[in-house]
Amino acid sequence: MPSSKPLKIKPSEVAADTKKKLIPEVNRHFRDEWPPYSILYSQPLLQLPITRPSFISSDLPKFYVVHSDPVDCALGWAQTEGVRIPFICAANEKRPGGDWETGVVGYEERLCRRSNLSATLGTPHPDTYMATNYPIPIEGAIYSPDVVRFRQFQDRIESLDMKDWRSLPVISMPPARWPKLTDQGRKYSFSEERELVRNKMRAALRICVFNGYNHVVIGDFGLGNGYRNPPKELAELWRDVFLYDPELRGQFLAVMFAFEDDRQCTAKCILDDIAKKSKGSSSSSSSKSKSKGSSSSSSSSGSSSSHKSDFKIFSEIFAPNEIARVRSQPDPRYAFSAIMDGS
């Protein structure tokens, strides 16, 4: 008796259909409405002038942390608000969409199988006179104004009806990958690396402001086993940039962090890596200290189960009462400046 289960489609087959059929369809029917180009900003913090708002509301931006697909969130939210809303997407710095044609499961790769993102990333806008957008500089990002989402699911060959195709702006920024950490993976080891992460956030948000957006959707940027940034410190950096950065403060009305997987636990990925390295180190010196190596490995593994998911951490950091508490406190940088000025 034949199986009732649907045939499993390989990601490479979905990618091939996207490349050979759907991307040409976008170009054929929507090239004028949704031009398939992108712009590389090599140094957004230096090259993009933005104007500070004349009035800053103490209640803005509003923060939302949701369990949902980030692109679906951006499109649905845009329809509700009547504005276009960009999505900040973790990007491969070497090539458009990374290994999206081979089945890699990072969000950028999955989105490339649902949209024409790979084509827009690989096609610099004619006005930029750029031959290629790659590699992306360390604090650079690619802005794709009109990425067309034509599939609901990245693992199915079926596409949406053409009347349901939608476009959204995507800002492709490579996160810091596997930074050196301290305090059992809770903190960045080096202030320079922390500042690089902060500057990447500021650069992506500056692109949003420069292009006229005051809402933004952010996915699990810099999280998961592929990047392993410390989740709590990462969330606090995002919060501090939105609330305290002198050029970005007050520029956004609302911010949504969308987690496709609400169980993803980067803290566990980090601790598993620490335990693995500890075990390897212990094994190499087992003849000298077997018992010490064994206890170190087991304690690292056991502590991982007590860590919160990324979704839970961001939900706590951006909870209304927590944001109110942080807002009620003076920015320590300004307080320090006031002391130094004698005011």
**If you average pLDDT over residues 247-274, what whole number do you get?**
96
pLDDT at 126 over 70: yes
Higher pLDDT, residue 261 or 283: 261
* Mean predicted lDDT score pLDDT of the chain: 89
Check: pTM over 0.85? Answer yes or no.
yes
22-59 tens-digit pLDDT: 999 999 999 999 999 999 999 999 999 999 888 888 88
Where along the chain do its domains lie? 22-265+322-330, 266-307
Residue spans of beta strands (DSSP E) within 7-154: 39-41, 62-67, 87-90, 141-149
Q: Assess contact for 37 and 123: CB atoms under 8 A.
A: yes
How many CA atoms are closer than 13 Å to the CA of 19, on its beta-carbon side? 13
Residues 142, 41: Cα–Cα separation, whole Å: 6
Predicted confidence at residue 83, as pLDDT, reads 98
Q: What is the pLDDT of residue 7?
A: 64
pLDDT at residue 18 is higher than 60: yes
Rounded CA separation 133/170 (Å): 15
Q: Which burial class, exposed, middle or buried, applies to 285 when counting CB atoms under 10 A from its CB (0-12, 13-18, 19+)?
A: exposed
Dihedral sign (CA 175, 179, 184, 189): negative
Mean local confidence (pLDDT), 127-154: 97
The confidence band for 61, taking pLDDT boundaries of 50, 70 and 90, is very high
Average pLDDT over residues 53-69: 91
Which architecture does CATH list for 22-265+322-330? 3-Layer(aba) Sandwich (3.40)
Could you tell me the pLDDT band of residue 289, with boundaries at 50, 70 and 90? very low
Exposed/middle/buried for residue 167 (C-beta within 10 Å: 0-12, 13-18, 19+): buried
- Chain centroid offset of residue 226 CA: 12
